[in-house]
């Protein structure tokens, strides 16, 4: 299978298979197109660069990132006069590797890694319909499987039946949750959850929030308030603010990342719905334009379909054989 072998070398075989299947489209479309593009050509010309631009843009890498990559290649072609397609391949790889790897860690902590705080509080935010509640359900399951005690907080008190939805995940993952009734103050729910976690000596706290468009100032302020209230119970909480992005989102993903960071200092991204479509490129664009690491990727609807994202592996696998 090549592409993702190294990408997920720390995952189990079963996980690997699922992820392979989930990322199949991205792999075959991006690499297949790149290979077809370069094959049979012996030099880099304007037409080839145009095709490369199309390939990167249609993979949702993003216009700015694409132009950056193309510009760099153009520069080198102009300087070196002659560039073979092999060199071009290497250049693209270098460029993408640079974009992907210039942020700190190579791979975020696994679910079984020792946590720096107790309880370790994670707040999950994002626009409507990206899969926040589902991501929390999956995280709860993965943390629990790794031997951690988990507590979830039903902080989406706004959307109809959001609490019920998290409740079902709580049963599936067999992880307890703290809730209040629909329409109550989400900051109070967050506070109660952390308080309960301290009392129960839980390892991980996962706080759900209502989906909100990043353009709604009032709702964004509500998030900052939730965050402030949490730190009253446990200083430094939340230790992680996870922004969930739908992988099929286009250029607006960057705006979402910017605005949420302004309000709540996003520390990591979870990219959902990566299964099934040719959207892997958005990982590259987001990593480049937004200096917050992708931490998780969602590749299906099952409890296990959430993976820790290994960037180094991703780049190696993208071009490795």
Binding region for another protein (CB under 8 A): 25, 54, 57-60, 63-64, 67, 127-131, 159-162, 164-165, 167-169, 213-215, 217-218, 246, 248-255, 258, 273, 275-279, 282
Nearer to another protein, 40 or 218 (CB): 218
| First CA to last CA distance, the chain | 9
Between 2 and 302, whose beta carbon lies closer to another protein?
Answer: 302
Closest CB 279 distance from another protein, rounded Å: 5
In the complex with another protein, the residue whose CB is nearer, 163 or 234, is 163
CB of 261 to another protein, least distance (A): 13
22: number of CA atoms within 13 Å, CB side?
24
The token duo for 284 is 């590259």
Question: Closest distance between another protein and the C-beta of residue 215, in Å?
Answer: 5
Binding-site sequence positions: 126-133, 208-212, 272-275
Query: CB-wise, 2 or 217, nearer to another protein?
Result: 217
Query: Which strand (E) or helix (H) includes residue 229?
Result: helix 217-233
User: Is 63 or 109 the residue whose CB approaches another protein more closely?
Assistant: 63
Give min distance, CB of 165 to another protein, in A.
Answer: 4
To another protein, the closest distance from the beta carbon of 218 in angstroms equals: 7
What the block records as the tokens of 233 is: 């119970």
CA separation for the pair 153, 122 (Å, rounded): 10
Q: DSSP character for 180?
A: -
The region, left, alpha or beta by phi > 0 then psi within -120 to 50, assigned to residue 183 is: left
Q: E strand or H helix at 144, and its extent?
A: helix 132-145
Q: Which residues are annotated as a binding site for GTP?
A: 126-133, 208-212, 272-275
Phi, psi of 20 (to 5 degrees): -55, -45
């Amino acid at each position: 299978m090549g592409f993702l072998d190294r990408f997920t070398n720390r995952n189990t075989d079963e996980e690997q298979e699922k992820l392979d299947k989930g990322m199949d489209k991205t792999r075959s479309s991006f690499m297949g197109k790149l290979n077809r593009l370069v094959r049979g050509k012996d030099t880099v010309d304007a037409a080839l660069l145009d095709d490369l631009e199309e390939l990167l843009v249609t993979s949702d890498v993003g216009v700015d990132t694409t132009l950056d990559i193309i510009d760099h290649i153009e520069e080198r072609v102009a300087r070196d006069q002659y560039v073979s397609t092999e060199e071009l391949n290497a250049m693209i790889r270098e460029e993408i590797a640079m974009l992907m790897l210039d942020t700190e860690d190579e791979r975020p902590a696994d679910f079984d890694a020792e946590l720096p705080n107790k309880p370790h509080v994670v707040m999950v935010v994002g626009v409507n319909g990206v899969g926040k509640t589902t991501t929390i359900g999956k995280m709860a399951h993965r943390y629990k499987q790794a031997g951690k005690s988990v507590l979830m907080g039903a902080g989406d008190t706004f959307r109809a039946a959001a609490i019920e939805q998290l409740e079902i995940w709580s049963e599936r993952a067999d992880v307890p949750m703290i809730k209040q009734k629909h329409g109550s103050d989400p900051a109070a729910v967050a506070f109660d959850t952390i308080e309960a976690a301290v009392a129960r000596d839980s390892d991980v706290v996962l706080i759900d929030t209502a989906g909100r468009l990043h353009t709604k100032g009032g709702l964004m302020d509500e998030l900052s308030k939730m965050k402030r209230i949490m730190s009253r119970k446990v200083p430094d909480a939340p230790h992680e603010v996870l922004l969930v992005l739908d992988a099929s989102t286009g250029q607006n993903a960057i705006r979402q990342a910017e605005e949420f960071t302004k309000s709540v200092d996003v520390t990591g991204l979870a990219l959902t719905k990566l299964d099934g479509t040719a959207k892997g490129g958005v990982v590259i664009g987001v990593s480049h334009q937004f200096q917050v690491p992708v931490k998780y990727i969602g590749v299906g609807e099952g409890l296990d379909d959430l993976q820790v994202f290994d960037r180094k592996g991703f780049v190696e696998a993208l071009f490795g054989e």
